[in-house]
A and B are shown apart, each in its own frame.
Chain A
Amino acid sequence: MGDLLQFTLTGVTIGSIYAIVALGFVTIYSVTKVINLAQGEFVMLGGLTMFSLTTAGLPYWVAFFVTIFFVLILGWIMEFILIRRAKGADAISLIILTIGASIFIRGIASVVWGKDQLRVAPFTENTPVNIMGATITPQAMWVVLIMLLVVFLLYILIDKTMVGKAFQASSVNPLAARLMGVSPIKMSSLSFTLSAALGALAGLAVAPIMFPAYDMGAMLGIKGFSAAILGGLGSAPGAVVGGLLIGLLESLGAGYISSGMKDAITFSAILLILLIRPSGILGEKSVGKGGL
Chain B
Amino acid sequence: MSEFQQKCSLVGRDRLADDVYRLTLQAPRIAAHAQPGQFVMVRVSDGLDPLLRRPFSIHRVFANGDISLLFKIIGKGTEMLAHCCLGDELDLVGPLGNGFVLPDEGPVCLIGGGMGIAPLLFLAEQLHMTGRETGNDYVLLGARTQDELTPLDEEFAALGYTVQRATDDGSIGHKGFIPDLLDFILPEMTQVYTCGPHLMMENVVRQCRQAEVKCQVSLETHMACGIGACLGCTVNGKRGLVHVCKQGPVFKAENLEWSLE
Is B a genuine binding partner of A? no
